[in-house]
């Protein structure tokens, strides 16, 4: 396997840095402009390219039908992490995770 492939780099990071605590491997695997998108508020955000990562929380009162669930009047909070690849000023690709399924499950409980 090519040691430069993203898969190999991540596998190496997991084994050598997380599992073994190898500081030398950490220094070798971190790019000079590395940005930790999961860092606490105030962490630097200085990487640019064709992908943009956002982390957000959507908080509202469930006052209208949501995916077939009648309004409950309860407060809901959905946590979201999105990665969007932009091409020619338009969304070209999207990856994301969110807590919508957990929120819907809670709304179904009376």
Q: Distance from first CA to last CA of the chain, Å, rounded?
A: 52
Three-state DSSP state, 76: strand
Domains of the chain, earliest start first:
45-108 (3.10.450.50)
Read off the pLDDT of residues 10-42 as tens digits, 9 standing for 90 and up. Answer: 788 778 887 888 889 988 888 777 766 666 676
Cα 74 to Cα 84: distance, rounded to the nearest angstrom: 31
Tokens of 7: 């898969």
Name the pTM for this structure: 0.54
Select the more confidently predicted residue: 101 or 37: 101
Three-state DSSP state, 61: strand
């Amino acid at each position: 396997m090519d040691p430069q492939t993203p898969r190999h780099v991540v596998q190496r990071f997991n084994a050598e840095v997380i599992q073994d605590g190898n500081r030398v491997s950490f220094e070798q695997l971190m790019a000079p402009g590395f940005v930790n998108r999961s860092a606490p508020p105030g962490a630097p955000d200085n990487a640019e390219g064709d992908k943009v990562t956002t982390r957000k929380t959507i908080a509202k009162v469930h006052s209208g039908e949501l995916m077939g669930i009648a309004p409950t009047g309860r407060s809901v909070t959905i946590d979201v992490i999105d990665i969007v690849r932009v091409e020619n000023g338009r969304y070209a690709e999207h990856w994301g995770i969110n807590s919508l399924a957990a929120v819907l499950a809670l709304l179904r409980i009376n």
